[in-house]
Structure 1
Amino acid sequence: MNAVVVAVAIMLVLSLCRVHVVIALTVGALAGGLLGGLGLEDTLKAFNDGLGGGATVALSYALLGAFAVAIAKSGLAHALADKALALVGKENGDGAGAGMLKMLLILLVLAVSISSQNILPIHIAFIPLLIPPLLYVFARLQIDRRLIACVMTFGLITPYMFLPVGFGNIFLNEILVANVVRNGVDVSEVSVTEAMSIPALGMVCGLLLALFSYRKKREYAVERIAQVEQVVSRYEPRSLLVAGAAVALAFMVQLWLDSMIVGALAGFVLFSLSGVVRWREADDLFTEGMKMMAMIGFIMIAAAGFAEVMKATGQIQALVDASVAWIGNSKALGALLMLLVGLLVTMGIGSSFSTVPIIAAIFVPLSIELGFSPLAIVSIVGTAGALGDAGSPASDSTLGPTSGLNVDGQHHHIWDTVVPTFLHYNLPLLVFGWVAAMVL
């Protein structure tokens, strides 16, 4: 059996059995490497070589965690909660006002998530800063965090797979179109937005389904949020002003230098210099924030090692080649198998941007042979790459939402983020991607 299939299956099964994702990724990588013929020494070498690939993002999240704790220390979390609950008029979250506020909060999270891919291209950096302060409000309104996870994942994925601006320009033009052209297809008259419009519609349907699936109230312990967020009942206008300035500074520095690390560090330094975070407390606060994001960082590092082992086995190419042998001359079967292989590869390595170059070299010539139009080829390869970004335990599109929603330990990465996003996005995307391949 193909080593990639086995490795991904082991990783997913262990994760669903509530084995920690870092352990699941490590065991899956070892099993895949051994089955792929690398041997134990070469498997470990490949895994170790890949670890550095996730270190930058892991350090970024650790610093963002420290910055998020500083924001909580300023009293911003409680201020937001007070203002939001004042709009409701009742602290128990009942009534028409509560329903309106819930929708406004959901739309706010959706708008910020979408904007993070293009208007303000900071990707997942906004999550540790925006979501933890809102958890208190979510809990009082009894909003199901699985819905918020689905909303954020939609906003992190759909823009880059449909709109050719920001990260979408990188994915659609610099990666997708470039690889399709490199493998022999003239796309000069192809609109990449048109090619990905039907798959994007599948993502929209998944979001609407999530709004229905998680519409019921879900209770969370407000006390646990207060402990983690260090919520205080009193806050000063000066501390809130400093918090706003620190957030703005962090975003501007990141956009200027393209570095989440430096941006978060600049925001934390401003807190320290302003006196909102006292110098003698800074060390403990910084350490606490890094602990808060440690799990996400280690998962990202382990995921990079897992991906490197999968590439070293050479079995990804073998999996693609095997799918070619199964297809024969059937366009319908060909489209389905290409999408499924893309789903499996992306679920394993956790990156749509890395999947497209791997699969395009084989899938583009195969699509030409099967008689697909250039528009359909772009759609097939693009959808195959995007499939699996939602629902992968190792993807930043799921790790990001978990990092913000689980700061108080009440949101499980696998069962509250990965499984909901897989069901609500990968399955509709698979169906709509297949339809696009057949009608374009």
Structure 2
Amino acid sequence: MAWAVIISVLIMTVLSLLRVNVIIAIIAAALSAGLIAGESLQNSLDLMIGGMGNQASVALSYILLGAFAVAISYSGITNILVNYLLRVLKNKRVIMLLVIAGVASLSQNVIPVHIAFIPILIPPLLKLFDQMNLDRRGVATALTFGLKAPYIMIPAGFGLIFHQTIQDAMGSSGVEIGIGNIALSLLLPGAGMILGLFVAVFFSYRKPRDKYQVSELEDENKVVAVPEAKFEAKHAWTLVAVAGALGVQIWTGNLVFGALTGIVLMFVFLVVPFSRGDEVVTNGIGMMGMIAFVMLIAAGYANVLQETGSIDALVESSSGMIGDNKGLIAFILLLVGLLVTMGIGSSFGTVPILAALFVPIGVAAGFSPMALAALIGTAGALGDAGSPASDSTLGPTSGLAADGKHHHIWDTCVPTFLHYNIPLFIFGWIAAMVL
């Protein structure tokens, strides 16, 4: 059964590289995992469907965040930012990529809309990217950095949820650790992501890329023009709604409550008329529905791997080969984490699974609580960059592919895997050795 994880992840990866739709690729991987583990095709399908409910709250939060993002866009406040970028950063490729990474970082800890801002902010900038000959793979890596690095290193917003998930999962396995120590343990893996961003921005994608140049007519037909906008009272109320959503999300630790608060405040403050409610929700579903459904399918895949015992078998077979060499143990655990999270595509969802397997092995090998937190946090984060099923790759693609000139696998997943998973793996291993 240990092979079920490896073979199914390879099937998903190969199908994705062959440009098969990501939903079909994940379904094929899930059914393959069930068959390899000895289940019938019908039982494998039932396990997949039964597990989809495990991410129902996440899918709902994405839909609501999409509606909140549409409401924010309706206010016109995003036009102010886009126009500023168009005016100030034209022909400044490196600075543009760094600014995009910075703006994306705000979506995790300050303005908790996660990936919902991307389909609103990025499409109006596509024409500018083409005029600058900006490599969209660089934009994808900048966006993914902002969607991952903040929650790995900063215990606020999504980061607080991630760190609490690690804390609770380790506590359930008998190892107590404070949030502050978890944050310190993940600084070194986070530094690996910063290094990856700098390599992408200053070396890999710094040069101009002219493959996107098409006729001016085609650009005009596919890219939405951005109207001029001045800061008004409705924009101030929009910022109040954003602050309210952030406050409720931090207070409750629940994305659904945070997003609902933001939406309600946008209507209460009359930033969005009540008559446009159906339109806002419908557009939010249209924006985030595909991503939400991919996350549901990925949860079903995770359930197949877990219920068939495939993940346990993989860890047990791995631990039986590595003896008491701490360096080798850390390497194998991270490799197992990479395989598991690449298939599932959710760092938050796989942390409890990984912790239940990593903690007993790590304690027996003599790893400190901070070293274990570094291993678990890094292993979980490895699934968010490069996985076809991750929201940290699906989000950037949703914006960059608005005009049909960006491929999810080759232009988002492969670049983010190379620039982030490799340094995350290396720096996470170092953290486990020194902490």
What is the TM-score normalised by the length of structure 2? 0.83
Corresponding position: 1:183 with 2:173 = yes
5+ residue gaps, structure 1, are: none
The 5-angstrom pairing of residues 273-292 of structure 1 reads 273=273, 291=286
1:133 Cα deviation after fit: 2.5
SS of 1:185's equivalent in the other structure is coil
CA contact (8 A) 1:34 1:43 kept: yes
Matches within 5 A, 1:167-316: 167-172=158-163, 174-185=164-175, 187=177, 191-211=181-201, 212-219=203-210, 220=212, 221=214, 223-231=217-225, 235=227, 244=235, 248=239, 251=242, 254-255=245-246, 256=248, 258-260=257-259, 263=262, 273=273, 291=286, 295-316=290-311
Q: Distance in 1 between matches of 2:156 and 2:306?
A: 29
What letter is aligned with 2:328?
L
CA contact (8 A) 2:124 2:225 kept: no
Aligned partner of 1:27 in structure 2 is 28
From 106, 124, 127, the counterpart of 1:136: 127
Q: Which amino acid aligns with 2:13?
A: L
For residue 105 of structure 2, what is the aligned residue in structure 1?
114
Secondary structure of 1:191 counterpart: helix
SS in 2 for 1:164: coil
1:28 deviates by 0.9
Which one-letter code corresponds to 2:139 in the other structure?
I
How far off is 1:112 after superposition? 2.2
RMSD across aligned C-alpha pairs, in angstroms? 3.5
Task: Name the CA shift for 1:108/1:438 in 2 (closer, same or farther; >3 Å).
Answer: same
Query: What is the deviation of 1:207?
Result: 0.8
Q: Give the corresponding residue for 2:431.
A: 436
Greater displacement, 418-427 / 147-156: 147-156
Contact 2:79/2:229 (CA < 8 Å) preserved in 1? no
Kindly tell me the number of residue pairs found equivalent between the two proteins: 421
State yes or no: 1:157 paired with 2:148: yes
Per-residue CA deviations over 1:33-61 (Å, capped at 9, x if unaligned) read 12122212221112222334555655665
How far apart in 2 are the matches of 1:142 and 1:401? 18
User: SS of 2:38's equivalent?
Assistant: coil
Instruction: State how far apart, in whole Å, the 2-side matches of 1:116 and 1:81 are.
Output: 16
CA separation of 1:189 and 1:414: change in aligned 2, threshold 3 A: closer
* Structure 2 residue identity aligned to 1:349: I
- Counterpart CA distance in 2 for 1:120 and 1:62 is 16
Counterpart amino acid of 1:149? A
8 Å contact kept, 1:390–1:426? yes
Q: 1:66 to 1:144 in 2, by over 3 A?
A: farther
Percent identity among equivalent residues?
A: 49
Distance across 2 between alignment mates of 1:83 and 1:187: 44
Letter in 2 for 1:338: L
Q: 8 Å contact 1:73–1:230 — kept in the other structure?
A: no
The CA distance in 1 between the partners of 2:186 and 2:178, in whole Å, is 16
Q: Which residue of 1 aligns with 2:51?
A: 50
Residues 250 and 416 of structure 1: CA distance in aligned 2, closer, same or farther (over 3 Å): farther
Q: Structure 2: which amino acid aligns with 1:434? A: W
Contact 2:69 2:117 in 1 (8 A): no
SS in structure 1 at match of 2:389: coil
Unpaired runs of 5+ residues, structure 2, are 249-255
TM-score normalized with structure 1 length: 0.82
Structure 1 residues 170 and 423: CA distance shift in structure 2, 3 A: same
Counterpart residue number, 2:251: none
Give the counterpart letter for 1:315 in structure 2. S
**How many angstroms does 1:325 deviate by?**
0.7
Cα distance between partner residues in 2 of 1:142 and 1:268: 40
Residue 427 (str. 1) matches residue 426 (str. 2): no
Q: Residue 391 of structure 1 aligns to a residue in which SS? A: coil
1:319-355 deviation per Cα after TM superposition (whole angstroms, max 9, x unaligned): 1111111111211111100000111111111111222
CA shift, 1:72, in A, is: 8.1
Name the CA distance, whole Å, in 1 between partners of 2:316 and 2:376: 15
Please report how far the alpha carbon of residue 103 of structure 1 lies from its aligned counterpart in structure 2 after TM superposition. Answer: 4.0
1:315 offset after TM fit, Å? 0.9
What's the secondary structure of 2:26's corresponding residue? Answer: helix
